[in-house]
Amino acid sequence: MVHGSCLCGQVEFDLDEAQAVGGFHCHCADCRRITGSGKASMAIMPQSGVTIKGDVKRYDSTGTEGMHLHRAFCPNCGSQLFTFVDEMPDVIYVKAGTMDRSDWINFTANFWGQSACSWLPVDGSITTFEKNPSA
């Protein structure tokens, strides 16, 4: 099991890394803005593999392919923790940096390579999609 939390500790979670489906880095403009950095790095988990303790606030937006995204953050400190997608109800994306241990994540792809910042280029050792893999 892997424990994680927001910066202030008001929201915590436990996840079962054995159930992880994979991991990816997203360099899209929305992920850059919401993280304030060059990319969002996330583990893909089934909902059943993550237990969340504490209330999150959700920011709702529409993705480039019309999917309905809900980025969840701590209402107190603002740390970005999870992303939920209406069209993928069993999946929860967990931001890697919120975990106490994230070395186990198997990152296999970069999304939105076309908008990667010059100061945080895509990881050249794994597959890069110019946009979303589905696009």
In the complex, which residues of this chain contact Zn ion (CB under 5 A)? 6, 8, 10, 26, 28, 31, 74, 76-77
Closest separation between CB of residue 105 and Zn ion, Å? 16
Closer of 26 and 96 to Zn ion (Cβ):
26
Residue number with CB closer to Zn ion (15 or 26): 26
> How near is the Cβ of 114 to Zn ion at its closest, in Å?
12
89 CB-contact burial (10 Å; exposed 0-12 / middle 13-18 / buried 19+) = exposed
CB of 32 to Zn ion, least distance (A): 8
Identify which of residues 48 and 62 has a Cβ nearer to Zn ion in the complex.
Answer: 62
